Amino acid sequence: MSDFAILHPVREISLRGETVVVREMRWKEAIAFTEKLSGLAREFTEPDGRLVVTPEKLGAVIARSGDLATQLLERSTGLPRETLDDLRPVEVLDLLAAAIEVNLHEDLLGKARGVGQALSRSLGLAGKPPGDA
């Protein structure tokens, strides 16, 4: 992925004869989305207790959660909920795939993991088993 694509991710999707621009959410929007997504943390927990977040898992969880998917689409496309509610499933899935690609790519997840690791180190939690904090 180029530096420009990382710094300014945008996808254009043809929808009913028009072009819908799918853009990266802004910080405030991403935080609100992440707060809602964090309520689904069990979806990312492995049987051994490890938290594993991948773009594939994120996509699957978002696709199964209608409200979360709608929130992501509203914020990354600017389309109102009423417009999204009127789309065919295949149209929504096209938009959703683009929104996930733009907003939850591996580079971004890697940066988020790095922040989490730095925070763990600064709090002296690095290397401690879950629950020993």
pLDDT exceeds cutoff 70 at 109: no
Helix residue ranges per DSSP H, the chain: 3-7, 27-38, 55-64, 66-77, 81-85, 89-103, 106-122
Q: Map out the domains of the chain as residue ranges.
A: 3-121
Give the pLDDT confidence score for residue 62 in this predicted structure.
Answer: 83
pLDDT of residue 103: 85
Identify the CATH number of the domain defined by range 3-121.
3.30.2220
Q: Is the pLDDT of residue 27 over 80?
A: yes
What is the pLDDT at residue 127?
58
Rounded to whole angstroms, the Cα distance separating 25 from 76 reads 5
For residue 67, the model assigns a pLDDT of 87
- Tell me: the pLDDT tens digits for 43-97? 888 888 777 878 788 888 888 888 889 999 999 999 999 999 999 999 999 999 9
The pTM (predicted TM-score) of the whole model is 0.69
